[in-house]
C-alpha cells in the first residue's frame, strides 16, 4: 500500500484510477486507503511545488539553526511546538549536530526575517542561540528539479 503514497508524493493530482493502473492495486482499495490516510492524518495535504524564481516572487527564505537549553523531563517538543506556531515559520525539524532545531523562516525581505529572528525567535524561552542562513537559490525543492535540463547536443542518427 505504500506504493500509493509514493505515487501521490510525486504527483498529488494522480487519480485513484491512475494510481490503480500504476500499482496494480484495485481502484476501490486505492480509494479506501487514501480516505483512511486522510482521516488518520497520514496525508496532511496535497502540495504543488512552485518555482518562485520563475514566478518573480521576491520573498526571502532563511534556515535558522536554533540551540535550546535542555530541561530535565521536557525534551525539545515544547519549544519546537511554540516556534512552529509563528506565522513566519514554514518548517521546524529536530536535528542532530551542534544545534537542536532547524527552522525555515519566510518573509518579505531580509530585514523582516532578521527582525523576526532577533525579536521573536530568540526571545522564546530556552532558546539560547540562533544561526541564520539566507537561501540564495533553490536548485531542487521537494524532489523536483528547478533547473532547466541540459540541452542534448548529440547528432541525430538515421537508420
Q: What pLDDT is stored for residue 55 in this prediction?
A: 87
Q: What pLDDT is stored for residue 30 in this prediction?
A: 96
Q: Check residue 150 and report its DSSP letter.
A: P
Residue 33 and residue 68 share a domain: no
- Rounded mean pLDDT, 95-115: 97
146 assigned to some structural domain: no
26 assigned to some structural domain: yes
Residue 82 and residue 131 share a domain: yes
Q: What pLDDT is stored for residue 80 in this prediction?
A: 96
Burial class (CB in 10 A: 0-12, 13-18, 19+), 70: exposed
Average pLDDT taken over every residue of the chain: 92
- Rounded mean pLDDT, 28-54: 90
What is this structure's pTM? 0.77
145 assigned to some structural domain: no
Q: What pLDDT is stored for residue 155 in this prediction?
A: 80
- How many other C-beta atoms can be found within 10 angstroms of the C-beta atom of residue 27? 14
Please tell me the total count of domains within the chain.
2
Q: What pLDDT is stored for residue 116 in this prediction?
A: 98
Helix H or strand E segment including 65: strand 60-68
33 assigned to some structural domain: yes
149 assigned to some structural domain: no
Residue 92 and residue 114 share a domain: yes
Residue 88 and residue 65 share a domain: yes
Q: Which domain holds residue 12?
A: 2-40
Q: Check residue 122 and report its DSSP letter.
A: G
pLDDT per residue over 45-102, tens digit each? 888 878 888 888 889 999 999 999 988 888 899 999 999 999 999 999 999 999 999 9
Amino acid at each position: 500500500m505504500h506504493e500509493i503514497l509514493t505515487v501521490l508524493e510525486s504527483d498529488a493530482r494522480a487519480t485513484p484510477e491512475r494510481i490503480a493502473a500504476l500499482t496494480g492495486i484495485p481502484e476501490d482499495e486505492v480509494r479506501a486507503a487514501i480516505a483512511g490516510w486522510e482521516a488518520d492524518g497520514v496525508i496532511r495535504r496535497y502540495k504543488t511545488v512552485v518555482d518562485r524564481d520563475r514566478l518573480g516572487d521576491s520573498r526571502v527564505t532563511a534556515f535558522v539553526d536554533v540551540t535550546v537549553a535542555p530541561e530535565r523531563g521536557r525534551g525539545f517538543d515544547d519549544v519546537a511546538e511554540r516556534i512552529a506556531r509563528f506565522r513566519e515559520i514554514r518548517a521546524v525539524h529536530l536535528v542532530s549536530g551542534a544545534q537542536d532545531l532547524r527552522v525555515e523562516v519566510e518573509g518579505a525581505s531580509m530585514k523582516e526575517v532578521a527582525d523576526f529572528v532577533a525579536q521573536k525567535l530568540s526571545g522564546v524561552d530556552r532558546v539560547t542561540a540562533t544561526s541564520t542562513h539566507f537561501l540564495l537559490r533553490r536548485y531542487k525543492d521537494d524532489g523536483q528539479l528547478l533547473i532547466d535540463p541540459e540541452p542534448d547536443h548529440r547528432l541525430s542518427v538515421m537508420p
